[in-house]
Amino acid sequence: MFNFPFSHDTPQQAPEAAIETRHTTPVPLPWETAESPYDEAEKRLADMEANEPKRRLIRDAKALCKLRKISQATMAEEIGVPRRTLEEWLQGRRFPRSPGTTLLRRWVEAHSPGTPASNT
């Protein structure tokens, strides 16, 4: 039926022999990893601690916005970021990265009552 380039008399290796000749290292399955739930919890805690200064800054910005009685749209315009981005920061869905943190910090320092703007 088909013309094969090899003869049909070629001996084939048994599957056991093929397995023995292969060099395999056991790969742990996802549920068999050495990482314990405590490691994951420590990682989450470290992430939360790293974001704590940002949380405080956002909390201060929210309070200042409420104190000045301005809307989020006005606040976003004064800071220089899109309203939706500021909304996500203030609602805790996202945290600002370095440039956003700097803009937010400068806005808080500039509009805080009784705090000189030059104090960094």
pLDDT in tens, 49-58: 888 899 999 9
**Into which CATH architecture does domain 53-110 fall?**
Orthogonal Bundle (1.10)
Could you tell me if 73 and 39 are in contact, meaning their C-beta atoms sit under 8 angstroms apart?
no
Could you tell me if 67 and 108 are in contact, meaning their C-beta atoms sit under 8 angstroms apart?
no
Quick one: pLDDT band at residue 11, thresholds 50, 70, 90? low
Please determine, for residue 47, whether its predicted confidence score (pLDDT) is greater than 90.
no
Res 26: pLDDT = 75
Give per-residue pLDDT as tens, 25-40. 777 776 666 666 678 8
How much of the chain, in percent, has pLDDT values that exceed 70?
68
Res 120: pLDDT = 43
**Any residues with CB less than 8 A from the CB of 105 and at least 6 apart, and which?**
57
In one letter, which amino acid is 31?
A: W
Residue-range domain boundaries for the chain? 53-110
Mean pLDDT of 74-87: 95
